[in-house]
Amino acid sequence: MTDLGTETAFEVLARAEQLAREGRDIINLGIGQPDFKTPPNIVAAGNQALVNGHHGYTPAIGIPALREAVARDIEARRGVAVDADRILIVPGGKPTMFFSCLMFGEAGAEIMYPNPGFPIYESAIRFSGATPVPIPLYEDTGFSFDPDEVLGRISPNTRLIIINSPANPTGGVISKDALDTLVAGLAAHPHVCVLSDEIYSRMVYDNQPHVSLLGYEEIRDRLILLDGWSKTYAMTGWRLGYSLWPENLIDLAVKLCVNDHSCVNAATQYAGIEALNGPQDAVDEMMRSFDERRRVIIEELNDIPGVRCVTPGGAFYAFANINGTGQNAKDLQTRLLEEAGVAAVAGTSFGEFGEGFIRFSYANSTENIREAMRRFRELLSDG
């Protein structure tokens, strides 16, 4: 149990809420969730499911209508026809990464994961007994990885490679070229499976298409695809996600669900159908807001002496380089919250390669973002 890590963003959130209760004016750029409410048509569908009496267990794999809606959505957005029987409905994005690590990890096995990256990857890998092998992400390529470096780190013990694009905490998008090279190289390593965390697949800017690893037929039989509703539909608290599993793994994944949580709550699954099948205007509107906020925060960050920030291609995070401030990430995280009332998360919360960076989630109003940046600048100018 002592190998389990955590997600510092939740600790920052708890402290920020405590300070707010004590009367402090706190601007929260810490936690990674949309500040919007779930669109009303989705809420109505969840309510209606309760009124209609959907109060019992559902199949562990998820209700058929939802899995079929997911299959249609995958085909529409990723251009690949998939069998709904390989789609598993789970409570959020996290269970898929945890289940994958439990399946592939054991003492002596190696699992590769992005660093800086979503902290639960490293935590779940360690918990499984496997050795976490970091995939460094580089600021000068917009927080992409070097595919040859990734391929070079594969060993006979490598079981799984975790890829996340668009990414938390960097907002980075891995280029199609890098993915092409990685997938081509994987032909020489047929023992290695891939978990592609595409939870931010709908959050890509500048009219760029989302490049899904599902698009590569040559690795489709060893690919686990993770996506969900939390970010796209502002549904983090509903706990709804899905994964697509290779044919030989889906039954094992379902068994993990039966052992772990039986099924996702029924009403949430009906809300999920409406999210996918209903109008998408609210998603488009949220993305327009995020894009505007992205421009504001990047401009503001790059205007603060000692700070610079590459423009993120996706998600809703700005990963600011603070090396020029002379302060380390954790100390600056603490000072930002305690002295300036701005909740943000130290890059080191996302792995050792996050030193020298602070993650700002720009899921907040442009006024609050500007005020937070004003406070950040003032904090640094005070020394």
Name the site residues for ligand PLP (rule: CB under 6 A).
32, 92-94, 118, 164, 168, 197, 199, 228, 230, 236, 241
Q: Are 5 and 120 in contact, with CB atoms under 8 Å apart? A: yes
**Of 104 and 380, which CB lies nearer to ligand PLP in the complex structure?**
104
**Of 357 and 377, which CB lies nearer to ligand PLP in the complex structure?**
357
In the complex, the smallest distance separating the C-beta of residue 117 from ligand PLP, rounded to whole angstroms, is 8
- Give, in order, the Cα–Cα distances in Å from 107 to each of 127, 128, 132, 191, 259: 10, 8, 11, 17, 22
**Of 26 and 31, which CB lies nearer to ligand PLP in the complex structure?**
31
- Short-list 196, 281, 291, 275, CA closest to 235: 275
List 224's β-bridge partners, or say none: 195
- Short-list 3, 1, 8, 2, CA closest to 354: 8
In the complex, the smallest distance separating the C-beta of residue 374 from ligand PLP, rounded to whole angstroms, is 27
In the complex, the smallest distance separating the C-beta of residue 121 from ligand PLP, rounded to whole angstroms, is 8
In the complex, the smallest distance separating the C-beta of residue 10 from ligand PLP, rounded to whole angstroms, is 10
**Of 92 and 356, which CB lies nearer to ligand PLP in the complex structure?**
92
How many C-beta atoms surround the C-beta of residue 10 within 10 A? 12
**Of 122 and 197, which CB lies nearer to ligand PLP in the complex structure?**
197
- Give, in order, the Cα–Cα distances in Å from 321 to each of 115, 267, 282, 311, 371: 15, 43, 32, 12, 19
Residue 358 in tokens: 């602070």
In the complex, the smallest distance separating the C-beta of residue 168 from ligand PLP, rounded to whole angstroms, is 3
In the complex, the smallest distance separating the C-beta of residue 188 from ligand PLP, rounded to whole angstroms, is 28
**Of 103 and 379, which CB lies nearer to ligand PLP in the complex structure?**
103
